[in-house]
Structure 1
Amino acid sequence: MLKEFPKPLAATIGDVVGSYYYSHRRLETMLYEAGASGDVPEGNCVDKVQNWLVREGKEDVSKAFTILGKLIETLMDGEVSTWDPDKELTARKRINEILARYQLSYGFGGRILGAHSVTAPSKAFGDALKDFSVAEVEEEFERAVRFIDSDPAAAVTAACAIVEALCKHYIATERLDLPTSQTVKPLWVVVAKHLKLSPEQLEDDDLKRVLSGLSSIIDGLGAYRTHAGSAHGQHKRAYKVAPRHARLVVHSAHSLCLFVVETWQARKALAKGR
């Protein structure tokens, strides 16, 4: 994870966004709505955006990247206008290029991928979400990754919630019956059975052992969320969730969700090929 908001990145974003909107009042409103705080920096529109991002990055670099994502969301996600398409496409290209220089990328919905301690499992799942736009899943993904270091208990809660959100989306899309209890375990049972991921549905003993591990992850997510997460308050047994614990839980959840998405896609492709 970057330790501070890079000044060259802030300079390019300031130049692109400041030149694109060129309205002090509009930029100030956009930045405050994106989560920026404190007094408005002095200077022109370009300097204002640049200095605000750098200042926020000194206080909390994770927050600065969240602000950046929200600031450029409309520009990056909106339809290209017919009155000046070259201007918008050039702006998007410059943003993508400067983000790539720092091994970052923009994700639909104002997410800056690679900025919030994202390592292999989470990055792969984040990339998969680009073509799998489900608001609830994306929201929990961002929340889990962002809070690993600053609020590990909240990250644990979000890790469980992302599995629940994905399972609900799968059940709704495939027109399956929701279980009576819509917690992570019953939801997973429905999805696993439909995707034929339940160990008892397989003949290969080695694969059975691997897929049994998925059920163990589900059990662990539900139990850990209950005992240590932020959703259910303090449990009688004291759980001190460290960032390393939250990172393990989040990455386990993301690995499981990525496997579900890839299996789902593979089954769809197989069905189309018949």
Structure 2
Amino acid sequence: MNIELSEQSIDALAEVISGGSANESAPSIGLYRQAWRLEAWFKTFGITFGSQQESRLPATKTAIREAIFIDNDLLLKRIIESAADPRDFINDPGRHTTVVEYLNRHLFFDGFKLEVVGRSMRLVEISETAAVTAELSAMAAGINFDTVSRDLDRALRAASADPELAVTSACAVVESVCRSILVELRIDFPSKQDISGLYKAVREPLGLDPVKEGLASDIVNDVRSVLSGLVTSVQGIGSLRTHAGGAHGKEKGFRRIDPRIAKLAIHSASAIALFIIETWQLRYPDRDLRLASV
């Protein structure tokens, strides 16, 4: 994720973090933080705050520009997400909504937006998001699937800049979910632990058969076709990872895959993983699905 903030977005971010100027008569957008609190806040990111020549608001802008100068997009991403941390607005959730909307109005022109994912905020690229990835990300956060969240984040960030890595991460999303189900059900892993082998291993215990769904006879074949399509997608994602993914070395002159294909793999993997998790929750409503430590 390459983050380039406009001056307007930097101003808006500084307004939210600092709470604005102490001399303003209008209510602050963000939470008013005294200088010593701002110093402690930025210190958690390794950023120096404040000087004798600058007041709170200008010093906050300087600190943000220092983060940009460091050229660490992950650092800047953390700062933006922390500026709208919902834990800071527990006693005033309405203000949190206002802060997120205020920042998003500015971030939109930079190609980003803040989304609520589980109990935290996440900065995402507008062009890289899709409903299915957002829903999977929210569900993964809700059931504490941090590995799935990280793989999905990595895939989305890499889709344009490193599509091979994006495909590898997309594949890992499905693999993590399948492994966790096998561990929870105490089923041995298949001899071939690639995405196809793992998906095949969870199909039977999850009852991924339209006949077992109790469906009307006139749509059984239709649903079977859709489920067969999932198998084809799983195989395709696995093959793409093998032939073009970032997990293997590339010979001289290797041609990168089209970012569109990487995004298709991400969205397909997200849909598959989401379907598997929802099926688990339907089949085993009283059992938590925990992340496999493998």
Matching residue within 234, 238, 262 for 1:222: 238
Ranges in structure 1 where 5+ consecutive residues have no aligned partner:
34-38
Paired residue type of 2:241: R
CA distance in 2, matches of 1:245, 1:117: 13
Cα deviation for residue 148 of structure 1 reads 0.5
- 1:15 to partner: Cα distance: 3.0
Deviation at 1:222, TM superposition (A): 1.4
2:266 alignment partner, one of 237, 242, 250: 250
Length-normalised TM-score, structure 2: 0.68
* CA separation of 1:173 and 1:48: change in aligned 2, threshold 3 A: farther
TM-score by length of structure 1 reads 0.73
**Contact kept? 1:148, 1:155, Cα under 8 Å:** yes
Note the alpha carbon deviations across 1:78-106, whole angstroms, 9 max, x for none. 6x7xxx9648x687455433355456313
Superposition pairs of residues 98-113 of structure 1, within 5 angstroms: 98-99=102-103, 101=105, 102=108, 104-107=114-117, 108=119, 111-113=122-124
CA distance in 2 between partners of 1:120 and 1:85 (Å): 27
**Distance in 2 between residues matched to 1:218 and 1:164, nearest whole Å:** 10
Could you tell me how far apart the structure 1 residues matched to 2:212 and 2:95 are?
51
The number of residues matched between the two structures is 259
Matches of 2:90 and 2:99 in 1, distance apart?
Answer: 16
The 3 A distance-change label for structure 1 pair 51 and 166 is farther
Q: CA RMSD in A?
A: 4.1
Q: Secondary structure at the match of 1:104?
A: strand
Aligned residue identity for 2:135 = A
* Aligned residue in 2 for 1:142: 153
Does structure 2 retain, via aligned residues, the 8 Å contact 1:6–1:54? Answer: no
Residue pair 2:115, 2:121 contacting (<8 A) in 1 also: no
Q: In the aligned structure 2, how far is the partner of 1:134 from the partner of 1:70?
A: 23
The answer as to whether partners of 2:167 and 2:245 remain within 8 angstroms in 1 is yes
Change (3 A) 1:74 1:212: same
> Equivalent of 2:277, from 251, 261, 270?
261
Query: Deviation above 6 Å: which 4+ runs of structure 1?
Result: 39-42, 54-60, 199-203
Change (3 A) 1:241 1:51: farther
Distance change >3 Å, CA 92–CA 186, structure 1 → 2: same
The 5 Å alignment of 1:173-212 reads 173-197=184-208, 204-212=220-228
CA distance 1:50–1:74, shift in 2 (3 Å): closer
Partner residue of 1:13? 13
- The C-alpha deviation readout for 1:197-220, integer Å capped at 9, x for no partner, is 257977822211111111111111
Q: CA 1:40–1:174 in 2, change beyond 3 Å: closer, same or farther?
A: same
Instruction: Give the equivalent residue in structure 2 for 1:69.
Output: 78
What CA distance in whole angstroms lies between the structure 1 residues aligned with 2:83 and 2:100?
14
1:47 is displaced (CA, Å) by: 3.6
In terms of Rg, which structure is larger?
2
Q: Is the 8 A contact 2:17 2:83 kept in 1?
A: no
Q: Is the contact made by 1:157 and 1:230 (CA closer than 8 Å) also made in structure 2?
A: yes
